[in-house]
Each structure stands twice: as structure tokens, then as C-alpha cells.
Structure 1
Amino acid sequence: MAVLATPPLAISLPSITSTATSFNCRPQSTTSVPIRSTPRRSAAAASQLCTHENLTIDKSSLNVAVANSEGELWAASCLRVRSFYSFQPSFGIEDHKRYLAEHEFEALKERVAGKRVGFGRVSCINATLPASQVSGLSDDLCSACKFSDDGEDRVVVGTLDLNRCLKLPDEITGMKPKGIGADFARAYLSNVCVAKEMLRNGIGYTLVTNSKMVAEDWGVSDLYVHVAVDNEPAKNLYMKSGFVYESDEPARQARFLDRPRRILLWCGLPITY
């Protein structure tokens, strides 16, 4: 589904264009290189569906869980670069892909380790399939996003971050809950994307459902996600998952940050003791 501190360094290359294969807008301050689900120059692209032919998967082989190895974090980083950008053939493009993936990987490791300022507890949650199944569907995806898990080769086909914190840098701030302890009870989803070949297999919905269960285990009562205002597939996914509208970003803020305007969606989670 085409729904997946301000970066100090911007890369603008004629061979790289943004795509709309992500389910939400990425938070700022995630990496020193901006990897965006929506382009700076064209907000309309955020609502465009990927035209890649979708492939049917064996859902019994799909595993959704928190990443537990650097190899899996690297595979997730590669999927994010692959999903958030469209690369035109040109000299050195593979080096650029790896450059972007390396920056996302380092930033992701820092967030998961609790070393990135502005983020609280962070987990990378991935949907994976056996490489033997993916290679028969997409050799490119298999080679780009493969990792080894306890002796088995698997491929990350969907990914997101669950961030427990009061706010994400440069994003709309959720208002629930209020008072002492809000930094432990509020969380945000970010960097949500599914491999373009695997869209319309329910992977995005499964990722969000799993992230809600992880958030409940953390004691989170209020879960948020930011979505570009014109990303209808994303809004449909989250509303299907129980999210409702809370607020939207002022147009002047979006213009200042040179990006499509966001809305903020909220979902209440049951409190368990």
C-alpha cells in the first residue's frame, strides 16, 4: 500500500526521486541524510499508489517481531532506502544507495540503543519472510534486504519504528496523556513502509497491529502516527487499525520545514497492570 533535529545535510541528485511507498511521514532528526516518504518538491506524490505489480505471499511464513540483530537492522535500513526513493540507472547509483542505507543504519542503531537525543525507548519492528520464498518472487528485494536469523536467511518486507517519548523532533506533539509519566505512556509510530512488490498483502496492517501489542507491553496508553494530509491510503490503513484524527500541522510550519503538511492520528491502548 502506498500508504511506510532537522537533518543537517540534504542530498539532491537528479538520479534519485522520492516515491510514495511509505505509510507515514518519517520523523525529523532520524539521520544526517533526509530519507523521506514524501518529496520536498511535490506533495501530490504522497498519495500516488506504486504501479509495481503486487505479488501474493504465503502469510503462514510471515513473521512480525522486534529486530534483535544488527543484520536485521541493516536489512530494514536497506528496505527504507529502497521504499522511500526511486533510483534511475546512472553511474555510481549503487554507491549512493549504500551511502543512504549506512546513514539510516547508524541512526537506527543509535535510536534503538537509546543514544539519539529526542527519542525515548525505540524498537524496530519488522515483517520478514524466508529468503527461499522471496527469491522466487523478487530477486532484487531478496538481495537487497536479506539477513540471517539463527541460521535461516530471511528478508525484511515491511518495517516501522515504535518510539516511546513525549514528542518526535519537528513533528506535531500528541496531547494524551497529560501530566507526570506522559513520557512513558505516549508513543509514536514512524518509518512505516512495505516493499512495493508486497503491497496489498495486509503486511502494513499486521505491522501496526503488532506494534500496538508491543506498545501495550511497554505500558503505553496513547499511540500516535503522523501522516501526510493527502496520503489517503495511509489514513485508511491507520483508521482501519483504530486510529482517529487528533490535530493537524499548521500550513506555515510545513512551509518552513519545506515538506507536505501532516495530520496527527491517535489510538488509545488498554492499560494493563
Structure 2
Amino acid sequence: MAVLATPPLPIYLPSITSTATSFNCRPQSTTSVPIRSTPRCSAAAAAASQLFTNETLTIDKSSLNVAVANSEGELWAASCLRVRSFYSFQPSFGIEDHKRYLTEREFEALKERVTGKRVGFGRVSCINATLPVSQVSGLSDDICSAYDGEDRVVVGTLDLNRCLKLPDEITGMKPKGIGADFARAYLSNVCVAKEMLRNGIGYTLVTNSKMVAEDWGVSDLYVHVAVDNEPAKNLYMKSGFVYESDEPARQARISTNIEVIDKMGCAV
């Protein structure tokens, strides 16, 4: 694992830390809003559902919206995207029930973090990138949308976490001194729908997260990246992150095993 970081500058720069490589950078501004309930999946999204082709879709960037999730419906949609992005599934009996279980588990954990009830986490915001249902040519049945007013599909998501460190991951080295823990934040669960890759959604998400972090008073933003994940490393470097440190291979394997066991719903 490696960690990336940015040196202090008079203007904002993003920070990143990764599960293998750690990156650090500096942020810029927006505010989070309280979570309020809305239905989990919209009828429009369900009605429009159909299988995606293998081709990457080109989007109208003027219709892309990136904002802090402010409803349970948005958190549920983010959880759906994370399960389809972070897991591989083979067709089998009961697979849909298993996907539902994983999504509900991520949803409950995400709610805990965002509402400040998760031990070890301070302030957490889920940031989503969305597109109107009407402007997406095909919707997979495992992508959800539930928004007030206009139905929008979550096509990218990440978490911005202010905490001493993420469980079993490297603690960023910057800043130092009294109050340093409150001036440091981490990105996690960064993903973009595979059909929407190469549209700049990841870059837009990271840029927005830096603005939110700056509004929190964060000076150094981190992300952990697997050493062999070149596309992710390129994204973060383009976003202003710099390499900070590596996690030893043995520790990276242990962290990965713990993460996989935890995601499978087993006791750790």
C-alpha cells in the first residue's frame, strides 16, 4: 500500500491516502445537509431498467450533478452502486437475495457513518454523482435512484471521512501538531459505474470532495490506493495528490483479508 500527499500551499490542493499507496492533497467548499428519508428506489428507474451493453456510454456533462447525499434514498442508491462495483457475481440460485443482503449491509453501515454513530469515525459525508434517468440510454436493474423532484441515477460515489485513520489502514503523516487529527480527512469507497468510465466522473467527484473538505477546515486529504491500480493512481495524481508512503506487502495483505472478511458479513 502507498500513501500520497501534497506539500502545504497557499491555495487548496487535494490529499489522498490508499490501501497500498497513500496520497495526500488539499481541499475547497460546500456543506453537508441532514439525512432525511425518501423511498429507496424510484418507479421511473425501475421502469427504465434494462441490460447495459458492454460499451462505455458518453454522457452530457452539463447534466451531471455532484452533491452530498441528503436522503436515505440517495444513500441506498450509493450502496447499490458500491455492491455492483466492488463484488463479482456468478449467476446462481439466490444471487439476487445475496446482492440485496450486501446492499442492505452497506446501507446500514453508511447510515451509521453519516449520522455519526459509527465508532472510530468523526464527520462523514457520502458524495454522489448523478444523471437524470431521461438522459441515460440504458439502466441496469442493480442501479437505483430515489430523489425528490427529478429522478436521477447515481453513477458515481465516494465517502469523505474525518477521523484519525480508517480501520486497518495507514494514518496520514500530515499535518502534524496539536489538532492535526481534525485537519486530516480520507476518501473511501470511490467508484464509478463501469458503463460511465472515461467521462471524467471520478475526477469531478474528487474535485467536489476537496471543496467539501475545505469547508470542514481540512488541510490534508488522503486516499489509499492499491499499488497495481494504475488508473486510480493516475486519477489522484491528476487531482493534485502526491505520493506519501507505502504499506508493507504483509500488512497490505492482512488489511485486505480483514476487509474481504468483513464485507462478506463474517465476524472479525
Measured after TM superposition, the shift of residue 179 of structure 1 is 1.6
Give the gaps of 5 or more residues in structure 1. 145-149, 256-273
Compare 8-17 and 46-55 and name the one that shifted more: 8-17
Relative to structure 1, the CA distance from residue 22 to residue 224 in structure 2 (aligned partners, 3 Å threshold; closer, same or farther) is closer
**Aligned alpha-carbon RMSD (Å):** 12.2
Matched residue of 2:25: which SS? Answer: coil
Greater RCO, 1 or 2 (C-alpha within 8 Å, sep 6+): 2
Tell me if structure 1 keeps the 8 A contact 2:203–2:235: yes
Relative to structure 1, the CA distance from residue 25 to residue 135 in structure 2 (aligned partners, 3 Å threshold; closer, same or farther) is farther
Counterpart-to-counterpart distance in 2, 1:179 and 1:9: 18
Counterpart-to-counterpart distance in 2, 1:48 and 1:249: 42
Match of 2:29 in 1: 29
Relative to structure 1, the CA distance from residue 95 to residue 103 in structure 2 (aligned partners, 3 Å threshold; closer, same or farther) is same
Counterpart-to-counterpart distance in 2, 1:38 and 1:250: 43
Give the gaps of 5 or more residues in structure 2. 254-268
Measured after TM superposition, the shift of residue 134 of structure 1 is 2.1
Relative to structure 1, the CA distance from residue 47 to residue 121 in structure 2 (aligned partners, 3 Å threshold; closer, same or farther) is farther
Matched residue of 1:24: which SS? Answer: strand
Tell me if structure 1 keeps the 8 A contact 2:13–2:26: no
Counterpart-to-counterpart distance in 1, 2:240 and 2:17: 32
| TM-score, normalised relative to structure 2 | 0.73
Match of 2:258 in 1: none
> For residues 218-261 of structure 1, what are the alpha-carbon distances to aligned partners after superposition, in whole Å with 9 as ceiling and x for unaligned?
00000000000000000000000000100010122123xxxxxx
Measured after TM superposition, the shift of residue 43 of structure 1 is 35
Measured after TM superposition, the shift of residue 133 of structure 1 is 1.6
Counterpart-to-counterpart distance in 1, 2:50 and 2:4: 13
| TM-score, normalised relative to structure 1 | 0.71
> For residues 59-83 of structure 1, what are the alpha-carbon distances to aligned partners after superposition, in whole Å with 9 as ceiling and x for unaligned?
1111000000000000000000011
Relative to structure 1, the CA distance from residue 30 to residue 242 in structure 2 (aligned partners, 3 Å threshold; closer, same or farther) is closer
Relative to structure 1, the CA distance from residue 49 to residue 13 in structure 2 (aligned partners, 3 Å threshold; closer, same or farther) is farther
Match of 1:143 in 2: 145
Tell me if structure 2 keeps the 8 A contact 1:4–1:23: yes
* Identity over aligned pairs, percent: 96
Measured after TM superposition, the shift of residue 90 of structure 1 is 1.1
Matched residue of 1:142: which SS? Answer: coil
Counterpart-to-counterpart distance in 1, 2:17 and 2:31: 18
Relative to structure 1, the CA distance from residue 173 to residue 24 in structure 2 (aligned partners, 3 Å threshold; closer, same or farther) is closer
Equivalent residue in structure 2 for 1:74, among 73, 76, 80: 76
